[in-house]
Amino acid sequence: MCGIIGIVGDKPVSDRLVEGLRRLEYRGYDSAGIATATPAITRRRAEGKLDNLVSVLADRPLTGIIGIGHTRWATHGAPTESNAHPHATEQVAVVHNGIIENFRELREELAAKGHQFESETDSEVIAHLVTAGMAEGLSPQQAASAAIGQLHGAFALGILFAGQDNLLIGARRGSPLVVGYGDGEMYLSSDAMAVGPLSNRICYLAEGDWVELTRDSAIIHDETGAVVEREIRSSTVAAESIDKGNFPHFMLKEIYEQPTVIGDTLNTYFNALSGGAFMPEMPFDMAQVPKVTIVACGTAAYAGFVAKYWFEQIARLGVETDIASEFRYREAAMPDGGVAIFISQSGETADTLAALRYAKSQGQYIVSIVNVPESSIARESDVVLPTHAGPEIGVASTKAFTCQLTVLACLVLTFARARGAIDDATVDRLCSSLAHVPELSRDVLQHDDRILSIAKDMTEARDVLYLGRGSLFPLAMEGALKLKEISYIHAEGYAAGEMKHGPIALVDDGVPIIVLAPSGRLFEKTVSNMHEVIARKGQVFLMSDEQGLKDAGPVPHSIALPAVDDFIAPILYAVPVQLLAYHLSVLKGTDIDQPRNLAKSVTVE
């Protein structure tokens, strides 16, 4: 979840290391630091946001034409300056993303040999391991290779050496690492986005690889030490802008980008002339698939929960959904010829990747829905379905979620048609509804002021409940997650029919209840549950369409959204719950784009 950057070049690197970290800060912002070899190892580090490091560098600039940098999400050790990366001895500096599981044993062995440690982190042992190897007469390359072989866990590394201004070593196991190719310079990063302004020619290291970088070359070794070639490709991701434009926060910008990116995603999987959804060629017969398993984490998991309703109702295909961090521990039985769908914004989510490998070991066809088509999850999949959301910098996912739902909707329609589960008239109706999502999402954004006024009525809340029924139940859970992530208000999402089975005990006049209830076949039952809450003095905020608001009767607070088909309601209703969380968080004064304790790309289990 941390971000690392490295540059070996022929001109000063300090400012460019900081700029690379700026593009990686969504991965962690507990602390940051850079180190250069000048020829001695020299470091600058600071607790907290990257701007604190910038202030340190303004007072004490750092020279050097080779260097490494790091922005941290704390795993081992508190987020203090002493625990900030790079970690260093006099000979070696290291930046590390991941977790070293055997660091205590290694630390004890090194301490017994006289090594003194300055931090509480697992990462510092790496610098000492490499230093110990060099003290025994190994070259920097040999010492790094030997140290890597002793590490257990997941990691991406950048290693810098005193007196070596033309050597940088990187390594990966379980965490992504990218090599960037420049003109007389080479780059190393945990994310292609960080090297975007420097190079669009990149190479993703494979699992177990380590690399020797000089100004003019990259020598890649596989886990056996053999020199190997890896594909160099052009990266459009790396060139993307991460500017907020005229918006105060990335999150708000990304919410407002949804009509455009949903449209871009639809254009990939939807034929406007024929009015039908389609998918790339699959290595399996959709009509014969016995079962679909959908696995993801966080917001992406809620997209999967929505898709379960769609698959079962529309394609008449049984679906099992699970959160990735638990899936493989159940050792689920998976049928021959089954399809496993993995959803991830980054394509690097460690738990999701581990679950993917379990499903592959069970003989499943692997389909991934990712926002980064060059990611680890994508590269290990049989079929990759990109979401085309563009870079999502705000930690709380917004546009990636609605694009995931859009891809899933197209996938469900393709399955349904292949299986003969729906007639042509139903296909036409659902496809027509889906085609209108970009326009309708733009209409929803016109209610921003009304949503802000609702948020103002909730600023004193300590607990918030979200209710939904059918495919809006996962949206209730997603709305609650959004609110928790960025406002720090406790919130829970429930199936509306479950209120009377326990959660209604929480209701009083200080608990806002957000009810997601478009008019339609489930509306009457949901409104009945809503009135049970009103009878107990709950402060209800109803999100429905004009007909729904009319049929619901008097409600303390409401917002009228466009009338839509049940099929696309989850995509459209995602937008107001995102805006509600955003505005309430602004009113609370929290850090919208970088909420406490969270990071965007979760690359550790």
Q: What angle in degrees, to the nearest 10, is found between the helix axes of 50-59 and 14-24? A: 170
Q: What angle in degrees, to the nearest 10, is found between the helix axes of 437-445 and 258-269? A: 170
Tokens of residue 396, six digits: 């709380």
Distance CA 394, CA 402 (A): 14
Tell me 110's DSSP state. H
Distance set, CA 357 to CA 174, 335, 352 (Å): 12, 16, 9
| Ramachandran category for residue 337: left, alpha or beta (phi over 0 → left; psi -120 to 50 → alpha) | left
Burial 262-280 (b: 16+ CB within 10 A, else e): bbbbbebbbeeeeebbebe
φ and ψ of 462, to 5 deg = -105, -20
Is 286 within 8 Å of 419 (Cβ atoms)?
Answer: yes
Secondary structure in 3-state letters for 340-371: EEEEECCCCCHHHHHHHHHHHHCCCEEEEEEC
Closest by CA to 601, choosing from 208, 287, 190, 274, is 190
Cis peptide before 259 (omega within 30 of 0): no
Distance CA 441, CA 262 (A): 9
Tokens of residue 296, six digits: 């993801």
Helix (H) / strand (E) containing 556: none
The yes-or-no answer on residue 600 being catalytic is yes
Tokens of residue 373, six digits: 């088509």
Place of tokens 């107990």: 536
φ and ψ of 344, to 5 deg = -160, 130
Classified as helix, coil or strand, 6 is strand
Distance CA 163, CA 291 (A): 58
Distance CA 518, CA 549 (A): 9
| Torsion sign over Cα 143, 144, 147, 149 | negative
Distance CA 27, CA 178 (A): 15
Distance CA 432, CA 439 (A): 12
The yes-or-no answer on residue 2 being catalytic is yes
Distance CA 577, CA 569 (A): 12
Distance CA 334, CA 322 (A): 13
Q: Which of 2, 297, 403, 431 is catalytic?
A: 2
Distance CA 465, CA 421 (A): 36
First to last CA, the chain: 10
Tokens of residue 148, six digits: 């890597």
| Torsion sign over Cα 501, 505, 509, 512 | negative
| Ramachandran category for residue 417: left, alpha or beta (phi over 0 → left; psi -120 to 50 → alpha) | alpha
Is 109 within 8 Å of 125 (Cβ atoms)?
Answer: no
Residues assigned a catalytic role: 2, 600
